Amino acid sequence: MQYGHFDDANREYVITTPKTPLPWINYLGSEAFFSLCSNTAGGYSFYRDAKLRRITRYRYNDTPTDSNGRYFYIKDGETVWNPGWQPTRTPLDFYECRHGMGYTVISGAKNGVSARQQIFVPVGDSCEIDRLILKNESGATKTLQVYSYVEFCLWNAVDDSTNFQRNFSTGEVEAEGSAIYHKTEYRERRDHYAFWAVNAPLDGFDTSRDAFLGAYRSNASPEVVEQGHCTNSVAHGWAPVGVHQINVTLAPGESRSLIFVLGYIENPAQEKWAAPGVINKAKAKAMMARYATDAQVDGALESLKAHWTNLLSTYSVKSGDEKLDRMVNIWNQYQCMVTFNMSRSASYYESGTGRGMGFRDSCQDLLGFVHLIPARARERILDIAATQFPDGSAYHQYQPLTKKGNLDIGSGFNDDPLWLIAAVSAYLRETGDFSILDEQVDFDNDPALARPLMEHLRRSFNYTLTHLGPHGLPLIGRADWNDCLNLNCFSETPGESFQTTGPSEGPVAESVFIAGMFVKYGREYADICDHLGLDDEAAQVRAAVVQMEQAILGPGWDGAWFRRAYDAAGNPVGSSECEEGQIYIEPQGMCVMAGVGVEDGQAVRALQSVAERLDTKYGIVLLQPAYTRYHLELGEISSYPPGYKENAGIFCHNNPWVSCAETVVGHGDRAFEIYKKTCPAYIENISEIHRTEPYVYSQMVAGIDAATFGEAKNSWLTGTAAWTFVDVSQYILGVQPTLDGLRIDPCIPHAMDGFTLRRVYRGATYEITVDNAAHVEKGVAAVTVNGQAVAGQVLPLAPAGTTVQVAVTMG
């Protein structure tokens, strides 16, 4: 069943009922000001950091779900309705929500009046625009009252939802003209305020939530709206809100637009005040003046669309499969940009208060967007690397506002350092900008410890090399990619964090997954050394990699698949010797991607085991058999009921690893089958089972052991976005950036006739035609560039600014 449909020409998903199984959201903003916006106009805004600079208030876990946002109440006689249905939930005559690239348009109609709410964050500005266009579609004059509504958050979202004894006394606002200014704590140490303004004279306003809603009411039925006039309340403490009242009379056929701006302003300390106690509003007024007319708003929307057209033109495919094209060309890249911006901080499942930017998460997100905005990838790499510890290990996360590492969930996740190599290698392959390796970058955010970025990579590699266990495999530390495999934790106390309990490093627990990473990213590191002329180092690195491969194929091999780990007692995890959890997905994907066992058949055997033991119709589960009881020696993984999350859920992030791995051994049919199983566009028609948005990936889909098999959770913020884009763009369609140029090596379903692809790379445009008349799954018989035959599969670098025609014949 579907709740809408794709509109590819406009790059939109069109939702046709407000009652989606879960709120289906969009992200507005891609620089500093961000808004989450659901299909009923729910959500919230923040500036840079969803914890420390929350602008509007949102209540997770509230009932009814998703009932705070930027709302317009339209009062038409005795009927009160919202264009997006919430929060009054008055039945509408028409409803539609279009989520596009950085904007959302919600349209509703009731009793002959239509209302269109366009919501977006303009490129280069720190505000959200909400334009409301009302139209009288009836034959009679309409006299309406329009009320806007936002609820301000007192900046720190954690404090805001916990420290009520203080916060009920601190709220302050100013109302001037058609703007409401939220200035809580501006009197003391804050240099920022927010405002909610409209480009029309007001018939009233409210800034006190109690005054607007009335006692014991919710925003489903504000007393002010019921009575038909605002009270011009000024909030002193309690809950400041922004409410404008505008009375609108529309002749038949007439329409009227109102432009609302939710803005964020910072003032330098010496310019904070216009008069004692009165904030300096100059920048706010300048911002309002930028969006005072429809022409200005139209212009800003056009710029936003042009911005996305430009970004998405870097990589686009025409394959004849419209689902594949829409995911590659639109939604998957869009989601990559969102995960880059948000990491795992703010979604409808991540509260924006729990996690900062993950070290490993951000490094992996970078793999998916580096081609879109290499300059910001460069900046991100330098920020992340600056949080690394001098011994090469890493804080697990950092706070985006301060860019400092934090120990909220500890450190000592021993896969972290290698992800830095993955990110830098991807950046170098995309850009060829080796100057980044010379950048002086702090260790532990301490400038006294700054060393060139290359030294950071070296210490990443050496950290793994110097932390090996009894089988010659890397020590796992608190956990590796799988945060829930906590082999040194042994927690028996409810509520303890599995990630920070116990020693960060036990003497023996080892990870085969990190071993696979070491081989893959060790090789990439050696390639970088080659480029810098560091021949000895390259040779040492390769020797260490070969030794690690042997350890994987020795104690890391279980007979028909790669083992997952060795626990703190030296027992194998993910082995046929185990009672539960005999086979895990992660090492199969990572080790085969790294090329381990390809020559002697273990790779193919391992992938066959995945197909036999882990595959389901909705994707590949993380492990089997699921853990049915708590295993003290394994930690959080066994805390989840069978089939959920890391305990045998379909953890989408690692499905593309297996798809990539299948291409490494030449299986195009199987690689694409795996790709399709979790790919949103291909499962749109089971939205009632899947429940999350059909245009983006979710972190998890309930596995075969779960009561709700096929139900997805945690949409949007997942490494699945980046890894799937790597899978489909580089491994399946086979356009692979290398240090020396683009390499073409498709691995596709044999039935596919071929495809055409446009790739902008290092300033040049490659128009690539792949011909698969031979109907093979993999193999390149001939390559020409502008009609000239090319030896091998790496295209010569075309000069920036030129366009070249590339013809690839498979066979």
- Residues forming the active site: 483
Q: Which of 568, 407, 581 is nearest to 488 (CA)?
A: 568
Query: Which of 699, 715, 736, 772 is in the footprint of ligand GLC by CB under 6 A?
Result: 699
Q: Least distance (Å) from ligand GLC to the CB of residue 785?
A: 39
Cα separation, 798 vs 266, in Å, equals: 45
Query: Which of 66, 416, 430, 636 is in the footprint of ligand GLC by CB under 6 A?
Result: 636
Task: Kindly state whether residue 206 participates in binding ligand GLC, applying the rule CB under 6 A.
Answer: no
Q: Least distance (Å) from ligand GLC to the CB of residue 601?
A: 29
Query: Which of 54, 471, 645, 690 is in the footprint of ligand GLC by CB under 6 A?
Result: 645
| Only segment of 59-67, 480-488, 550-558, 594-602 that touches ligand GLC (CB under 6 A) | 480-488
Alpha helices in 632-685 (DSSP H): 655-664, 668-678
From first CA to last CA, the distance across the chain in angstroms is: 40
Task: Kindly state whether residue 564 participates in binding ligand GLC, applying the rule CB under 6 A.
Answer: no
Q: Which two tokens stand for residue 722?
A: 């980046």
> Facing residues of 74 across strands?
81, 146
Which x/- pattern, by CB under 6 A, does the window 704-743 give for ligand GLC?
A: --------------x-------------------------
Nearer to ligand GLC, 88 or 460 (CB): 460
DSSP, residue by residue, 9-35: TTTEEEE--S--SS--EEEE-SSSEEE
Query: Which of 42, 43, 358, 516 is in the footprint of ligand GLC by CB under 6 A?
Result: 358
Q: Which residues of 567-592 are buried (b: 16+ CB within 10 A; e: fewer)?
A: bbeeebbbbeebebbbbbbbbbbbbb
Alpha helices in 138-219 (DSSP H): 157-160, 164-170, 209-213
Q: Which two tokens stand for residue 773?
A: 């008349």
Cα separation, 147 vs 212, in Å, equals: 10
Task: Kindly state whether residue 416 participates in binding ligand GLC, applying the rule CB under 6 A.
Answer: no
Cβ atoms of 341 and 717 within 8 Å: the answer is: no
Query: Which of 75, 182, 281, 344 is in the footprint of ligand GLC by CB under 6 A?
Result: 344
| Only segment of 175-183, 321-329, 478-486, 705-713 that touches ligand GLC (CB under 6 A) | 478-486
Task: Kindly state whether residue 346 participates in binding ligand GLC, applying the rule CB under 6 A.
Answer: no
Task: Kindly state whether residue 361 participates in binding ligand GLC, applying the rule CB under 6 A.
Answer: yes
Task: Kindly state whether residue 484 participates in binding ligand GLC, applying the rule CB under 6 A.
Answer: yes
Task: Kindly state whether residue 646 participates in binding ligand GLC, applying the rule CB under 6 A.
Answer: yes
Nearer to ligand GLC, 209 or 478 (CB): 478
Q: Least distance (Å) from ligand GLC to the CB of residue 61?
A: 17
Q: Least distance (Å) from ligand GLC to the CB of residue 486?
A: 9
Cα separation, 294 vs 291, in Å, equals: 8
Task: Kindly state whether residue 409 participates in binding ligand GLC, applying the rule CB under 6 A.
Answer: yes
- Residues contacting ligand GLC: total by CB under 6 A: 15
Q: Least distance (Å) from ligand GLC to the CB of residue 700?
A: 8
> What one-letter code names the amino acid at 66?
D
Cα separation, 725 vs 364, in Å, equals: 11
Q: Least distance (Å) from ligand GLC to the CB of residue 338?
A: 14
Nearer to ligand GLC, 96 or 636 (CB): 636
CB atoms under 10 Å from CB of 322, counted, come to 12
Query: Which of 152, 481, 723, 761 is in the footprint of ligand GLC by CB under 6 A?
Result: 481
Cβ atoms of 133 and 116 within 8 Å: the answer is: yes
Q: Provide the CB-side half-sphere exposure for 759 (13 A, CA).
A: 27
Cβ atoms of 211 and 233 within 8 Å: the answer is: yes
Q: How does DSSP classify residue 328? A: I
> Which three-class secondary structure state does DSSP give residue 386?
coil
Task: Kindly state whether residue 233 participates in binding ligand GLC, applying the rule CB under 6 A.
Answer: no
Query: Which of 96, 128, 416, 483 is in the footprint of ligand GLC by CB under 6 A?
Result: 483
At residue 781, φ and ψ (nearest 5 deg) are: -90, -35
- Residue numbers at the binding site for ligand GLC (CB under 6 A): 344, 358, 360-361, 409, 481-484, 499, 636, 645-646, 699, 718
